[in-house]
Structure 1
């Protein structure tokens, strides 16, 4: 592939990573003023509008009726899995003081992808992939230690559990999407994802007979964050895949925690403690190792 094309793909993947990093920061700042349900309705309502406008004017549309029954079923499962994973993600953001910690724990999602592939698809992984899993798990262990002692209560906090639930169901969504990526347009998956989340949060508010409430500041954060993450970040990611392999895009995506740590410090004055920072770096190293193993395997 042309060298300039590779540089363009890498630049797009890096821009997508920075764009996604803002989701952690803007969502955390928004939820200081609004509850999770009010946040979810506006965040995913706007994301749905952004994506529908883009699909209407800038993509070659494909109707849902053109999909096979299997593809429709997979799309439904992706929507349900995304609803669980993203709800757990923002719940974790809401419950934790530092959004960077959520990003470190979210790095465990490739481990769940490996486990799902091994259990349900009988995919065998080599030594390098297993090494990456061990490094990542050790990073999670280190993040939950204090004075060299492992603290189960830290790992079992609602924020940590929510982050791990996100990683699990995000992995499920990824495996399902990969299984039908040739038959289901990625733009349709994106719209389905946002639609499920918007409807889910709306039903929750109606069931509790509540009305969403916002401050002017929270509206600004939600409007900006929903554009940068669920819309622009996904567009840039798909654009990068035109020029570089998916494994390269994933590899670059692991750097998002660095931007989140820097952003949390600059915008909120929050910085992880030593164990959290070292453990977070190990989770990044573990995912880099898994991704490199995938690149080596594809070259073979």
Structure 2
């Protein structure tokens, strides 16, 4: 495996471990504070971390060198990030067990695969498609309640996760196309600036108090740092590997979230949800191994 490919997978793995803990710390904070209180403090920390890191790496000067096209890209991404992040934390707030949210989120790599095929012209075979189908089946099993009507067939919050996956996929494909011309530091700073503006407007309209408990403040600050690290390393991974491969590695976070949720909240998914989660992870693993070429037949070279 080439060194750049190894770097890409390493960054994707760091992002996976970091983002797994985002589910835990954000859920712990949201159990104590209002979503709007949470959002403005979380995004303020995000701006601080991303600004300091961009300044340290000398990337702030890129802001003065942006072309009109690049500015339009950053504005588009900013709007997408507002929609993506809002629906993400809303789903965590609605669904009691963060591991369920994470497992349902395995629909994201499937959407990335489809976007890679139709937009980025990335190549996928039948094995990857089978893996994606398994991930979809697992997601259905996790979210199924046994109801028969459209309102009762899925658990509350499933639709929010699905909408989040659509926005996240769109943002990921935009970043992947333009990552060579704009730095990960600038992408990250742009993301948090837009989120902070949106969160501040919502905070002022709602009239919430900024005062929260020290424990909630600690969970938010640590969670925000982990999200900053996760988003940054995701952007870095796109430098070295395809967006779809990075997303596949990230989708394994459900296993880590499951362990973390049990240790912190003492929660476990229902039996059928656990089975569905494992099916979705299996589907993701099939996609991963297929992309690594494990299922490809080796051609024998004829002696000269």
Q: Output the TM-score relative to the length of structure 2.
A: 0.84
In the alignment, is the contact (CA less than 8 A) between 2:173 and 2:243 conserved in 1?
A: no
In the alignment, is the contact (CA less than 8 A) between 2:36 and 2:203 conserved in 1?
A: yes
Residue 265, structure 1, aligned to residue 262, structure 2: yes
More displaced 10-residue stretch of structure 1: 151-160 or 5-14:
5-14
Residue 97, structure 1, aligned to residue 110, structure 2: no
Matches within 5 A, 1:28-177: 28-117=27-116, 125-145=124-144, 152-153=150-151, 156-177=154-175
Cα distance per residue 1:8-32 (max 9 Å; x no partner):
7655543432221110000000011
User: 3-state DSSP class of the match of 1:63?
Assistant: helix
Matches within 5 A, 1:221-240: 221-230=219-228, 232-237=229-234
Return the offset for 1:150: 7.2
Cα distance per residue 1:120-164 (max 9 Å; x no partner):
5677743223212211111112113457x7785455454111111
Task: Indicate how the Cα distance of structure 1 residues 140 and 151 shifts in structure 2: closer, same or farther if over 3 A, else same.
Answer: farther
User: 3-state DSSP class of the match of 1:183?
Assistant: coil
Return the offset for 1:76: 1.2
Return the offset for 1:117: 4.8
**Corresponding residue number in structure 2 for 1:180:** 178
More displaced 10-residue stretch of structure 1: 221-230 or 57-66:
57-66
Inter-partner Cα distance in structure 1 for 2:265 and 2:23: 12
In the alignment, is the contact (CA less than 8 A) between 2:145 and 2:154 conserved in 1?
A: no
Task: Indicate how the Cα distance of structure 1 residues 240 and 281 shifts in structure 2: closer, same or farther if over 3 A, else same.
Answer: same
In the alignment, is the contact (CA less than 8 A) between 2:134 and 2:280 conserved in 1?
A: yes
Return the offset for 1:82: 1.0
User: 3-state DSSP class of the match of 1:40?
Assistant: helix
Inter-partner Cα distance in structure 1 for 2:247 and 2:153: 26
Candidates 274, 277, 281, aligned match of 2:278: 281
User: 3-state DSSP class of the match of 2:274?
Assistant: helix
**Corresponding residue number in structure 2 for 1:206:** 204
Unpaired runs of at least 5, structure 1? none
User: 3-state DSSP class of the match of 2:179?
Assistant: coil
Inter-partner Cα distance in structure 1 for 2:247 and 2:18: 14
Q: Output the TM-score relative to the length of structure 1.
A: 0.85
Inter-partner Cα distance in structure 1 for 2:22 and 2:101: 12
Unpaired runs of at least 5, structure 2? 299-304
In the alignment, is the contact (CA less than 8 A) between 1:254 and 1:288 conserved in 2?
A: no
More displaced 10-residue stretch of structure 1: 250-259 or 114-123:
114-123
**Corresponding residue number in structure 2 for 1:194:** 192
In the alignment, is the contact (CA less than 8 A) between 1:250 and 1:291 conserved in 2?
A: no
Aligned-residue Cα RMSD (Å) equals 3.1
Residue 255, structure 1, aligned to residue 271, structure 2: no
Task: Indicate how the Cα distance of structure 1 residues 208 and 160 shifts in structure 2: closer, same or farther if over 3 A, else same.
Answer: same
Aligned pair count reads 296
**Corresponding residue number in structure 1 for 2:16:** 17
Inter-partner Cα distance in structure 1 for 2:242 and 2:233: 14
Return the offset for 1:252: 3.4
